[in-house]
Amino acid sequence: MKKSFSVKIALVALLLISATSLNYFEIHKQLDIFSHIFKEINLYYVDETDPAKLMDKAINSMLSSLDPYTTYIKESEIENFRIQTTGQYGGIGASIRKRDDYVMVVSVYKDAPADKAGVRPGDLLLAIDGKSLKGFSDSEVSALLKGSPGTSFMLKVKRDDQTLDLKIVREEIQLKSVPYCGYVAPGIGYINLTNFTDKASKEIKEALADLQKNADLKGLILDLRGNPGGLLSEAVNVSNIFIPKGQEIVSTRGKIKEWERSYKTLDNPVTTDLPIVVLINRGSASASEIVSGAIQDLDRGVIIGQRSFGKGLVQQTRKLSYGAQLKVTVSKYYTPSGRCIQAINYSQRNEDGSVSSIPDSLRRSFTTRNGRIVYDGGGIDPDIVTEPRKYSPVLTALIQNNLIFDWATEYVAKKGKNNIDVKFQLSESDWNAFKLWLKDKELSYQTRTEKLLQEIMETTKDEQYFSEIESELLKLKKRFQRSKEDDIENNKAEIKRYLEEEIVSRVAYQEGRIQKALTADNEVAEAIKVLSNPEQYRKILKL
């Protein structure tokens, strides 16, 4: 019997070795074919080829067949990758975007070199040290603005009809993970976390300390909306602030068994009894889902908002030759209840190469610590679902055409920064001035109703009914066009709110924009309602 067992073990081992050998042979074979093709093309193709570009396309095409998170990072892109994980870089502290032939400043960070030098939102960047920036992309200009702390350059900008030369000394810029914290109601604090850099948990602890220092903190709103994630270790550290030591927050499983891990809280928490509401939406992904998933599974807090993105994949960076790196998906992560919230199965593709979301009918149920039902395969489902903030077509058009931005720039220049604070509100005369300013501006957009009407007109033409109802359809189209003239006034409250947020941001920076936006935030209002009602809070969590 022992002999028979030994034979079986030997056969299994032999099969494994054979399978591994076949796999390595196939890898060697395909690499050999590829290298020959690459060489032949570079030697004999009729036109000159760029080996670096050809290789980049080959690599990126190969990786695109896997998942969006497995990416090749060239040596020239390593600095940007480092900024994403640390939030730290040498530069001037400004956001920019392309506008016509030049790049425009969209915002500046408080007390950063750009702010100190007098750079303002709306400035067009004309030249750096005499070198024209006309035709440069925003990424090209961004690379020129970055550099070693302490180095300086002359920046030529156009503001209104003026051309200004500003000397800027680069500094080490540390982007905040927590751009704002404060009280949104008596006893109810609010912390906005925008990403999971290596300082995220430290900044949350500092924000909590500030809130507890200034008043009696009875409940906390942790805002993870639009937070795309970041470091897995920081997701565990952030969770640890609210969850006891020794509790599993997340586990990872993948092809290489030795890399499978259970991540537990290592420190004593800051608080375990403070009522918490976590806000999420479709933009909350990865590390945001680890935190909200752990808080939900352990019944530590209430989740409010919309279903999260559904990224349950973990990446690891592998160093390559010549300073490059590969960010590769190595495992899936699982929340404390055992669920994986990955919403798309990238290993199964349709014939056209596309991938589909996991249907709700195939999602499996799990239970939280208190026995509440939660599901895998589609992100984190909130305990209380709310409608997301949606912009009307006219406001979307005003934003996309830079009309909100431009009017705010002019308004702040005339009004003066000293006359604006976070409580600022547009007067009726300000609103009328904005509408008058818009009259000679280009503003074209199509409402959903107009799109449907256009589809009807096209369909009737295809089906040869158009001639019979042409006059009625054209009358209807003109009626909608007349109605659009009233869209500005009909959406007055929404447009005014966005204008006020933009204007306040010019004086109080990102912190001020967030603070101003909170005054009309439906999800924050819902969170305040839950935290102000201990009985409802306990009922949701089955405490």
Q: For residue 68, give the nearest of 375, 380, 285 by alpha carbon.
A: 285
Q: Catalytic: 286? A: yes
CA distances from 476 to 110, 445, 470, 473 (A): 51, 17, 10, 5
Per the CB < 8 A criterion, the answer to whether 88 and 175 are in contact is: yes
CA gap 478, 481 in Å, rounded: 5
To the nearest 10 degrees (0 to 180), the angle between helices 403-415 and 428-438 is 130
CA gap 349, 335 in Å, rounded: 26
CA gap 392, 48 in Å, rounded: 50
CA gap 314, 329 in Å, rounded: 6
Sign of CA dihedral 537, 541, 542, 543: negative
Q: Catalytic: 332? A: no
Pairing relationship of beta strands 219-223 and 276-280 according to DSSP bridges:
parallel
114: which residues sit within 8 A by CB, 6+ positions away?
A: 92, 93, 94, 105, 108, 168
CA gap 309, 318 in Å, rounded: 26
Query: Catalytic: which of 67, 123, 223, 297?
Result: 297
Per the CB < 8 A criterion, the answer to whether 516 and 500 are in contact is: yes
Query: Catalytic: which of 107, 177, 284, 286?
Result: 286
97: helix, strand or coil: strand
Phi, psi torsion values for 98, nearest 5 degrees: -70, 135
Q: Catalytic: 297? A: yes
Per the CB < 8 A criterion, the answer to whether 514 and 192 are in contact is: yes
CA distances from 350 to 71, 195, 442 (A): 22, 33, 43
CA gap 519, 452 in Å, rounded: 35
Per the CB < 8 A criterion, the answer to whether 124 and 99 are in contact is: yes
State which H helix or E strand residue 190 sits in: strand 188-192
Pairing relationship of beta strands 325-334 and 313-319 according to DSSP bridges:
antiparallel
Tokens found for residue 80: 């940007």
CA gap 400, 486 in Å, rounded: 19
CA gap 408, 430 in Å, rounded: 11
479: helix, strand or coil: helix
Query: Catalytic: which of 311, 337, 383, 505?
Result: 311
CA gap 468, 465 in Å, rounded: 6
252: helix, strand or coil: strand
Sign of CA dihedral 109, 114, 120, 126: negative
Please identify every residue annotated as catalytic: 286, 297, 311
